[in-house]
Structure 1
Amino acid sequence: MYVCICNGVTDRDIAAAASAGCAGVHELTMRTGCGATCGSCVEMAGELLAQAHRRHEAELLPLPGIARAA
């Protein structure tokens, strides 16, 4: 889905930026242009970036019953 119509940024672009280490909305704007024109997408972009970070963190958690290596 398009998040930033002005600059053609999709939710997949935001997820990819998060996976590449994008830490916040300001950095997301610098990397993708999302929010740089009219700014109406910034709130949604921030929410999607946070969701992508949470998904990434959840993928890194160990499975229940499996001990982590020290």
Structure 2
Amino acid sequence: MFVCVCHAVTDKQIKQAVEAGCCSYREVRDCLQTGTTCGRCVPETRELINATLIELAPHTSQAA
């Protein structure tokens, strides 16, 4: 699905950018140009970045 219509950036591209090492909105923006025209995609882009970072985080178990 397109997240940034202005630059034709999809949710998959954003996830791939995070998987490739982008760890912040600024890094994704610099890589894919999301949010640099109208800005309507910024909230969804941030949500996708955070969700992807959570998915990639190592799962730790809490020991009592």
TM-score (normalizing by structure 2):
0.86
Equivalent residues in 2 for 1:1-16, closer than 5 Å = 1-16=1-16
Percent identity between the aligned chains?
34
**5+ residue gaps in structure 2?**
none
Q: Which has the larger radius of gyration?
A: 1
The superposition leaves residues 17-42 of structure 1 with CA deviations (integer Å, 9 ceiling, x where unpaired) of: 11011111111110001111111100
- The equivalent residue for 1:35 is 35
C-alpha separation between the residues in 2 aligned to 1:26 and 1:61? 26
The alignment's TM-score, normalised by the length of structure 1, stands at 0.80
Structure 1: which 5+ runs fail to align? 65-70
Alignment of 1:38-57 (within 5 A): 38-57=38-57
RMSD, matched Cα = 1.4
Give 1:44 deviation, angstroms.
Answer: 0.6
Q: SS in structure 1 opposite 2:14?
A: helix
- Matched with 2:23 is 23
Matched residue of 2:3: which SS? strand
How many residues are treated as equivalent by the alignment?
Answer: 61
